[in-house]
Amino acid sequence: MAWRPQDYLIDGCIDCRKNGKVTGWLRFHSFGKVTLNLNGFVYPDVQGKQIKINRFIPLCPPTADDAKEYLQGFSRKQTGTIGDITAGRKPVHLCYLCYTDHPYIEWFSKTNGRVVLELNKEDVRVCK
């Protein structure tokens, strides 16, 4: 079973500018900051770029108790291997097929196993 903490995500920055390495941070409601230090390669739409995340406030925001309960045991330092990281943009190379049309961030944490964030396009900005 995968961790899917996107409902509690507030903002973050994922740095894909270093080849074979992804670093950054994510901030979660009632939990605080989590740092990322991951190895592997991202999809070409975000390769050499940063992914800035700023979630819009949901219609039914999570309660502090819900966030604390769900994120209990989630490590504040996420190290491991990249799964799929894409902003869900149209491919620029014919040999590159993006399987999703929305931002999808996945990694395999040494402490927490598989972690998946599926976000809305308006939550993400890709920068150089």
Q: Is 125 exposed, middle or buried (0-12, 13-18, 19+ CB in 10 A)?
A: middle
Strands (E), the chain: 9-15, 21-28, 32-39, 50-54, 77-86, 104-109, 113-118, 124-127
Q: What is the pTM of this model?
A: 0.89
pLDDT at 59: 63
- What is the DSSP secondary structure assignment for residue 7, as one 8-state letter? G
Q: Is the pLDDT of residue 112 over 60?
A: yes
The residue ranking higher by pLDDT, 61 or 29, is 29
Q: Containing domain of residue 18, as a range?
A: 5-127
Answer for the pair 76, 91: CB distance below 8 angstroms, yes or no.
Answer: no
Number of domains in the chain: 1
Answer for the pair 86, 40: CB distance below 8 angstroms, yes or no.
Answer: no
Average pLDDT over residues 38-59: 90
Q: Quick one: what percent of the chain has pLDDT higher than 70?
A: 88
Q: What is the enclosing helix (H) or strand (E) of 71? A: helix 64-71
